[in-house]
Each structure stands twice: as structure tokens, then as C-alpha cells.
Amino acid sequence: MLKICQEKNLSSGDRPDIKNLTPEELSAWLKDNGVDAYRTRQIFKWIYIRNADRFEDMTDLGKDLRARLAATFSIPRLAVQKVETAGDGTSKFLFRLSDGAHIESVLIPERDHDTLCISSQVGCAMGCAFCRTARGGFIRNLTAGEILSQVRDISRLAPDRRLTNVVFMGMGEPLANYENVVNALKMMTENDCGMKFSSRKVTVSTAGWVPKMMDLGKDTRVSLAVSLNATQNETRDLLMPVNHRYPLETLLEACLQYPLPPTRRITFEYVLLAGINDTPEDARRLSKLLAPLRAKVNLIPFNAFEGAAFHRPEEARILNFQNILMKKNLTAIIRSGKGRDISAACGQLAANAMMRRAECRSKCHPSP
């Protein structure tokens, strides 16, 4: 059962969000204040395991330390602007940030667990033609604390759900916000005082931001997904402007060199667009491109949104595409259309909220 409530953004004045600190940074602050570094583990356990809202509740810390923490830091929640829940149990959360910007997270029920899809940026600069988020452009990066808050807050809002998987497939390009994303990933997968997610169940999806792909493999053990969506540069240029900078040859070479943990595969996401990239020839080219790689394919039939220039292929065409890949010994899964009876396109709720905000400003402060 979802515990939905309207919450204020508990930014508490100028006090910084303690969730933006790495363990090393918090340990350094404690040392500067004459406190043993082992207290770092206790503090973060309260925040990430016990989901505490106040330093005053951290009863295994001394009163003086609790008071100093409360005077210096805050533990803010994201403000819940709106929640939409589909008939299949998919829940889409619209969060308002402290500066008034909006982001989305989606909690998706699977057969024996739940997956949370989170955002890494407000908006996105990648400009993918089939993406709703791209239409609003890029506004700013999320902090590590804002990224972690999506997981932490939804865990509290939906305590009965079995959340085991987290995917960075919401708003934004995660590798373009590298430092904050990696700091958040480390706390998600930290087993001692973090969120204790298995690294294989946390997935970072990239549109092909090649310079940071190798760093991700060296700095973390999380899973990698690559949004491919085309088998020829001409088509991918039209769909994904990042391809002008890092064309298919460069991207696939980076995937080949990626330091993949044993038994893992790279997931290649392929949004199927009717008449654009869904032909049998595309399927055969895709199987050939991925043959040298340890790969699996997520086929994603296009989720339409208002004003979109693309359409979902017919079911027979989708199944034929999958069948061609499977005959070439590729694992190819058709992603089920969860949440299609709510604002399904990524960025839809946030875009609507930002539009309403702009309209309100225009009415309140009309141009001369």
C-alpha cells in the first residue's frame, strides 16, 4: 500500500543535505569536530537503513553530536507533487525540488520484485527525437542527495513493495552527471551503512556518452545498459544527436572494451519505431553488430505521447523482430508496456508541471 502524502521539502534553510556527503567527507567533518570516524557508519545507517528524518532520533549518538549535526546539516525529503497509479500497479511519482524544478520516478511491479526507475538530471541535453523529456531541454544536474532521495523516499512511501532493483532510466543522461551519479551508486550498493542493493541489480543506462563509460566500469560494479535504437549511423543521427559525436563504431568499440564483470552482459535498449527501425533488415543488422559482445536486447515498443512524430509498430512486426534476434542466439526480451493507462512517456508529468508553473508566472507577472 502506498503511503502518499503532500510533504514539504525539508531543506531547512541554508543547512546542506547530508546525503550529498560521501563517507570520506563525513568522516573528515567528524574528525575536524573531534569525533571518531566510526560514527560515520552509525549516522548513515540511520539515514539509509532506518530512514530517519531527524538527527535527534539517532539515539546511539551523544546529545552533543546530535545537536551539532542538526545545526550543520539537514536530511531533506523530496516534495511529492503528484502520484499516478496504473491498473497494473505501476506508480509514477512527480517530485518538486527545493528550487521548484520537477523530476519523475516510476515504481514498476515485476513478477517477484519491484523495480524503481529514477532520474539523474532535471531535463536532458541529449535531444533524442523519440523522448518526451528531451522536449523540455536541460535544466540542471541532480545532486547525489536528490538521486538517493528518490530511492529513500519511495521506500518509505511504499513500504509494502519489494524494491530490489534500481535503474537509471528516467530523466537525464546519467553519465553526463558522472560524479553525483557515482557517489549515489556507491551509497546504494554499500553493504555496511548504505542501501545494500546488489550491484548487479542496479543499472545505469546511457545514450552513448562514451568518455565516461570506461570510468563507470572501473569505478563501480553496477550493470550497464546502452540505448542503441538504430543499426545505421544515418538513422541513429536522426534519432539521437549524440551519435554525431560518438557514432555506432565508436560506441560499440567502447562496449567491447568495457570492463564487464564475469557472467554479466551489457543490455542494449532498442525503442521500436514503426517504419523507422523495425524492419527485418534492422533486426539482422542488430544481431550482427552485437555478435562480438556479451549482450542482451530489451525491445521497447514506442510509448506514444501528445505531439510525438512516431508510432508503435504492429504486434506482429514486434514479434518478428524478436524472433529474428533469437534465431541468431541473442537474448531478446520485449519490455511489457507497464503503466500505459497513466502518463506513460518519461517526462510527461514533469513537463506538464513545468508548463503549469510557467503559465502561473505569466498570469501573476504578465509582460508589459
Greatest distance between any 2 Cα atoms in the chain: 69
Alpha-carbon distance 127 to 135, whole Å? Answer: 7
- Asked whether the beta carbons of 120 and 181 are under 8 A apart, the reply is yes
Alpha-carbon distance 184 to 21, whole Å? Answer: 10
Query: Which position among 234, 255, 346, 364 bears the catalytic label?
Result: 346
Q: How many residues does the chain have?
A: 368
Question: Residue 363, exposed/middle/buried by CB under 10 A (0-12, 13-18, 19+)?
Answer: exposed
Contacts of range 350-355, beta carbons closer than 8 Å, 24 or more positions apart: 350/94, 350/102, 350/103, 350/104, 350/122, 350/133, 350/136, 350/171, 351/132, 351/133, 351/135, 351/136, 353/81, 353/82, 353/94, 353/96, 353/102, 354/101, 354/102, 354/136
Q: Residue 31 is placed in which grid cell?
A: 574528525
**Is 104 a catalytic site residue?**
yes
Angle at 278 between CA 276 and CA 280, to 5 degrees: 125
Query: Which position among 104, 146, 173, 269 bears the catalytic label?
Result: 104
Lookup result for grid cell 514486434: 318
**Is 124 a catalytic site residue?**
no
Q: Are strands 121-123 and 138-141 parallel, antiparallel or unpaired?
A: antiparallel
Catalytic residues: 104, 346
